[in-house]
Amino acid sequence: MVKSRVAVLKTSPRRVLSDYHELLNLAGYQDVLAKDVDTALKINISWHFFYPGSSTTPWQMEGVVRAMLKDGYDPELIHACHNRTVVIDSKLGERENKQINVVEAHGLRNIHLYEGEEWIHIRDAVGDLADEFICLNDVYPEGFRIPERFIGENIIHFPTVKTHVFTTTTGAMKNAFGGLLNERRHWTHPVIHETLVDLLMIQKKIHSGVFAVMDGTFAGDGPGPRCMIPYVKDIILASADQVAIDAVAARLMGMDPMNIKYIRMAHDRGLGCGDPAEIEIVGDLEAANEQWDFVGPFKKMTFAARMQPLPTWSVSSTREKTGPPSDREWGGREPTWPRHPAWSRN
């Protein structure tokens, strides 16, 4: 059986753009991403402002776009892709993180999924696959909608290497969370690991090709995705296996990926490989075997990090577990979630 492949390279500021080209081809991206369909560059913005290790870096995007153009991908079929959240302003974030600079420099389309895009009911998108969901049918008993434009598109995820207070680590699988679920995706936080597995099943069904490019030039440790300590690691990763790339990143951070629930669940369901012993590493093997001994998200929690999970689906204790509260139960508006003090200034 062919092993899942993850490409890993040690890089530097001087050669990072050319290294991304080498990285993508080491990971075999041209075998996964068809050149005759649209390719969505799924950007991650975990914080409005640039903070090392938090959000998709401009050199990550620039390196990938240059590689694609050099390898014959049509710029007319490449577009940046943004979701919207209740705490992050994607328009501010794409400017402050210099992502829009890359998009405009190459004349690419820049798509915000909540601006004029059609969303399609999940059962119309994936059919009977919805019957196999682990948790989403319980969280959304009437179903949910996903962006119609995703159907038949390639997608490249642009996560960074960092820890996360909900999922221990966050990477390729978590990057789909914002794009596939609407602003009420916080309803899934009590079952976030199961949700990520369901979303991976959806991606495999709807996308022409799924690929991930992960930037670890800076890596974030602590109660991420925002309250982190950044470390310079100068490592970049790429893979067509979303589970495998998350597993390799977790191991770099000093964690056993098979003890991280979402990775183990996806591995056990055959959605990818989460066992490092079964993953083929190509590129810089010495870099891939680094051990950073990160503390992780739970040992040095900030007040904001401790509070973040508490209110999620908070009225569920007073109602039957048939799904999230309705608009009427919320009084016709979204609940106010505890936020990092800086959020109140934006």
Give dist(CA 292, CA 277) in Å, integer. Answer: 19
Distances (CA, A) of 80 to 24, 44, 90, 341: 18, 11, 12, 30
- pLDDT confidence tier of residue 340, bands split at 50, 70 and 90: very low
1: confidence class by pLDDT, cuts 50, 70, 90: low
Residue among 60, 41, 62, 28 nearest 154 (CA):
41
Which amino acid makes up residue 96? E
**Mean pLDDT highest for which of 10-24, 76-90, 154-168?**
10-24
What pLDDT was estimated at residue 248?
Answer: 98
Q: Which of 61, 71, 55 is nearest to 22 (CA)?
A: 71
Q: Where is mean pLDDT largest: 82-91, 184-193, 279-288, 322-331?
A: 279-288
What is the average pLDDT value for the chain, to the nearest integer?
86
* pLDDT of amino acid 150: 97
pLDDT digits (tens, 9 = 90+) for 28-70: 999 999 999 999 999 999 888 999 999 999 999 999 999 999 9
Q: What is the model's pLDDT at position 332?
A: 32
Is the pLDDT reported for residue 216 higher than 90? yes
Residues 46 and 97 sit within 8 Å (Cβ to Cβ): no
Nearest in space to 203 (alpha carbons), one of 182, 231, 175: 175
- pLDDT score at 334: 35
274-313 tens-digit pLDDT = 999 999 999 999 999 999 999 987 666 554 555 555 444 4
Per-domain residue ranges for the chain? 4-309
CA dist 162 and 168 (Å) reads 9
Q: Are 252 and 292 in contact (CB under 8 A)?
A: yes
Tokens 């405009």 belong to which residue?
Answer: 104
Class of the domain covering 4-309 = alpha beta
pLDDT of residue 179: 84
* Distance separating alpha carbons of residues 233 and 217, to the nearest angstrom: 5
The pLDDT of residue 164: 86
Residue bearing the bigger pLDDT, 105 or 176: 105
- DSSP summary character for residue 67: H
Backbone angles phi, psi at 119, to 5 degrees: -115, 140
**Residue 198 confidence (pLDDT) above 90:** yes
Model confidence at 185, pLDDT cuts 50, 70, 90, reads low
- pLDDT > 70: percent of the chain: 84
pLDDT of residue 312: 44
Task: Please give the residue that has the higher pLDDT: either 336 or 59.
Answer: 59
Give the Å distances, CA to CA, from 143 to 138, 148, 186, 203, 260.
9, 15, 15, 17, 27
Instruction: Give tens-digit pLDDT for 249-283.
Output: 999 999 999 999 999 999 999 999 999 999 999 99
**Is the confidence at residue 215, as pLDDT, over 50?**
yes
Mean pLDDT of 104-118: 94
Q: Which residues contact 337 (CB under 8 A, 6 or more apart)?
A: 86, 87, 186, 308, 311, 312
19 vs 328, more confident: 19
State the pLDDT at residue 224.
65
pLDDT of residue 151: 97
Grade residue 177 by pLDDT with cuts at 50, 70 and 90: confident
Handedness of CA 68, 64, 195, 257 (dihedral sign): positive
* Mean pLDDT on 143-157: 96
Note the residue count of the chain: 346
Structure tokens at 216: 């670890």
